[in-house]
Structure 1
Amino acid sequence: MIGLVAIIDPLRTEAKGAVAACREAGIEVAMITGDHPATALTIAQELNIVESADQLVAGPDLQLALDSGTIDQLTAKARCFARVGPRQKLEIVQSLQRNGHFVAVSGDGANDAPALRTAQVGVAMGLNGTDVARETSDLIVTDDNFASIVAGVEEGRVAFANVRKVIFLLISTGAAELVLFTLALLTGLPLPLMAVQLLWLNLVTNGIQDVALAFEPGEGNEMRQSPRSPHEPIFNRIMIERVIISALVIGTVAFLLFQWLIARGYTLDEARNGTLLLMVLFENVHVFNCRSEARSVFRHNPLRNPILLIGTVAAQLVHIGAMYTPWLRDVLHVQPISPQHWLELLGFALTVLIAMELHKAIRKRYLH
Structure 2
Amino acid sequence: LASGRFPENQEFAEDRLEGLTFLGLVGMIDPLRPEAKAAVEACKSSGVQVAMVTGDHPATAFAISRELGLADSVDQVVTGMELKDAEAKGPEAVDALTRKGRVYARVEPQQKVLITNSLVRNGKLVAVTGDGANDAPALHAAHVGVAMGKGGTDVAKESADLIITDDNFASIVSGIEEGRIVYNNLRKVIFFSISTGVAEIFLFILALIFNMPLPLLAVQLLWLNLVTNGIQDVALAFEPAEGGEMNRPPRPANEAIFNRLMVEKVALVAVVVGGLTYAIFHWQMSMGRSIEEARNIAMIMMVLFENAVVFASRSELKSAFSSSPLRNPLLVFGTIAAILIQVAAMYMPGLSDVLQIHPVSLYQWVELVGVALVAFAAIELHKLIRRRFPVIG
Q: Which moved more, 1:230-239 or 1:357-366?
A: 357-366
- Percent identity over paired residues: 58
Match of 2:63 in 1: 42
Number of residue pairs matched by the alignment: 368
Match of 1:276 in 2: 299
State the Cα deviation string for residues 273-322 of structure 1 (Å, max 9, x = none). Answer: 00100000000111011111100111121011110111011001100111
Select the residue among 31, 38, 59 that pairs with 2:80. 59
**Mapping 1:3-22, distance limit 5 Å:** 3-22=24-43
State the Cα deviation string for residues 173-226 of structure 1 (Å, max 9, x = none). Answer: 000001111111111111000111000000000000001111111111211111
**Mapping 1:62-211, distance limit 5 Å:** 62-65=83-86, 66-211=89-234
TM-aligned CA deviation for residue 248 of structure 1 = 0.5
TM-aligned CA deviation for residue 10 of structure 1 = 0.9
TM-aligned CA deviation for residue 2 of structure 1 = 5.1
Match of 1:321 in 2: 344
- Using the alignment, how far apart are the partners of 2:97 and 2:210 within structure 1? 67
Gaps of 5+ in 1: none
TM-aligned CA deviation for residue 46 of structure 1 = 0.3
- Using the alignment, how far apart are the partners of 2:371 and 2:273 within structure 1? 9
Whether the aligned pair in 2 keeps the contact of 1:250 and 1:282 (CA below 8 Å) is yes
TM-aligned CA deviation for residue 4 of structure 1 = 3.0
- Using the alignment, how far apart are the partners of 2:331 and 2:259 within structure 1? 25
- Using the alignment, how far apart are the partners of 2:195 and 2:165 within structure 1? 40
TM-aligned CA deviation for residue 3 of structure 1 = 4.6
Whether the aligned pair in 2 keeps the contact of 1:86 and 1:114 (CA below 8 Å) is no
What residue identity is the alignment partner of 1:318?
I
- Using the alignment, how far apart are the partners of 2:135 and 2:389 within structure 1? 47
TM-aligned CA deviation for residue 164 of structure 1 = 0.8
State the Cα deviation string for residues 234-264 of structure 1 (Å, max 9, x = none). Answer: 1000000000001100000000000000000
State the Cα deviation string for residues 151-177 of structure 1 (Å, max 9, x = none). Answer: 000111111111111110110000000
CA RMSD of aligned residues (A): 1.0
TM-score by length of 2: 0.92
TM-aligned CA deviation for residue 45 of structure 1 = 0.3
- Using the alignment, how far apart are the partners of 1:367 and 1:88 within structure 2? 42
TM-aligned CA deviation for residue 30 of structure 1 = 0.3
- Using the alignment, how far apart are the partners of 1:68 and 1:268 within structure 2? 72
- Using the alignment, how far apart are the partners of 2:280 and 2:41 within structure 1? 54
Whether the aligned pair in 2 keeps the contact of 1:196 and 1:332 (CA below 8 Å) is yes
- Using the alignment, how far apart are the partners of 1:334 and 1:317 within structure 2? 14
State the Cα deviation string for residues 75-99 of structure 1 (Å, max 9, x = none). Answer: 1111000000111111111111111
TM-score by length of 1: 0.98
Tell me the SS of whatever aligns to 1:81. Answer: strand
Tell me the SS of whatever aligns to 2:350. Answer: helix
Q: Which has the larger radius of gyration?
A: 2
**Mapping 1:328-347, distance limit 5 Å:** 328-347=351-370
State the Cα deviation string for residues 303-346 of structure 1 (Å, max 9, x = none). Answer: 11110111011001100111111111111111111111101000
> Is 1:287–2:310 an aligned residue pair?
yes
- Using the alignment, how far apart are the partners of 1:9 and 1:215 within structure 2? 41
Match of 2:272 in 1: 249
Match of 2:249 in 1: 226
TM-aligned CA deviation for residue 366 of structure 1 = 2.3
Select the residue among 209, 214, 228 that pairs with 2:237. 214
- Using the alignment, how far apart are the partners of 2:323 and 2:343 within structure 1? 27
